[in-house]
Amino acid sequence: MSARDIFPRANTIACIEESKLLKQFQYEILYNARGLQATLDELNGMNYFQTYLNAETDNYKTTLDVLMDRTFAVMRDIVPFQVIWRIFALMYDIHNMKLVVKERFFGKKIERLALRYGSYSLPTIRSAAVRESDNILENETLTRGFFNALRFKDMHAVDFELDKTYFVTLKQLAAELNKPDITAFIADRIDLYNFSVFFQWRAAGRPAGYFEKAFSDQGSCALEEWQLYIHDDERNAIARFPLWQKYRKVWGAAEDNKSIFYEFDVLADNYLIQKTKACKLMAFGVEPICAYFYNKFIEIKNIRILLTGKENEYGTDEIVKRMRIPYEL
């Protein structure tokens, strides 16, 4: 590692904040709390929300939104390259781009569904939908994918197009960091997305063309290689696919073969979290900074799932099934 990979302030802050992430024993305390308010009391006692105002049953969702805002603010303040912030914000930009396309499609404003964590404001995205040549988003890939989506008359096609645009843009932004481990992590993320598409396609009865329309070509294997295995009539032909073997730890963590479809998002996230744990052994560099923020956002997702489950009086077992593993060795 050269001196150019040492970012004293960013690495120090990320290390301090990473040590505050919830541990498994703290999750156990939260699982065992009786009801939503008791769970919030435990979180308030930990100062989880980092605020002087306690989270209550009527404001916890807003409090989590504020925590998201604060996390993004810390990121923008400390990261050595702003492209890191753009990488994390991209999924929210794509969400809001889908929203604007649907506003055009249905002819009404639906800003209540917008998410505020992206690189662009909703008014900016609306303005970007007027004329392609203006390239208001200042990103040719995003602009091209956006206008392709605007031309579609089918909502599924819109989602497919913008999901593909997300992965192309994600790889381009990550390439600016020139970090092989981050590039490999994103390739894993895209491969697992394609497996998610595969499971959805199979669960829906293998509708013609669905897999090909949703597939992202930014992963490790081309569509043609996937097709050799997924369209093979031989029973369980997919098991011979080298990419299936690469991710066999994901399938191995499922309760049984039938439950993979329902558990897939959690299993995939757990696999990726495990991949980031190597960064806990790195004192300096971009990688531990990115790993911290990735896992902080996973943790906030966990708390949303937990509190929603408590609010709806789900059983502990049902809640635990939806939770991701903590970022600890």
Domain of 91, CATH number, reads 1.20.1690.10
Cα Rg, the chain, nearest whole Å = 21
In a domain, 118, yes or no: yes
3-state secondary structure string, 45-93?
Answer: HCCCCCCCCCCCCCCHHHHHHHHHHHHHHHHHHHCCCHHHHHHHHHHHH
Q: Is residue 119 part of a domain?
A: yes
pLDDT of residue 262: 83
Helix H or strand E segment including 295: helix 286-311
pLDDT along the chain (329 residues), means of 10: 83 96 97 96 95 91 96 97 97 97 92 93 96 96 97 92 98 96 97 95 92 96 95 81 94 76 92 97 95 98 97 95 95
Quote the pLDDT of residue 1. 63
Q: Give a yes or no: residue 143 inside a domain.
A: yes
In angstroms, rounded to a whole number, what is the distance separating the alpha carbons of residues 123 and 102? 15
State the chain's maximal CA–CA distance in angstroms. Answer: 61
What local confidence, expressed as pLDDT, does residue 2 receive?
Answer: 67
Statement: the pTM of the whole predicted model exceeds 0.85? yes
pLDDT for the residue numbered 317: 93
Tell me whether residue 172 is in a domain: yes
If one counts the domains in the chain, the total is 1
Per the CB < 8 A criterion, the answer to whether 163 and 197 are in contact is no
Q: What is the pLDDT of residue 51?
A: 87
- Alpha-carbon distance values, 218 to 165, 237, 266 (Å): 10, 23, 22
**Is 130 a member of any domain?**
yes
Residue 101 maps to a domain: yes
Say if 166 falls within a structural domain: yes
Domain that holds residue 104: 82-176
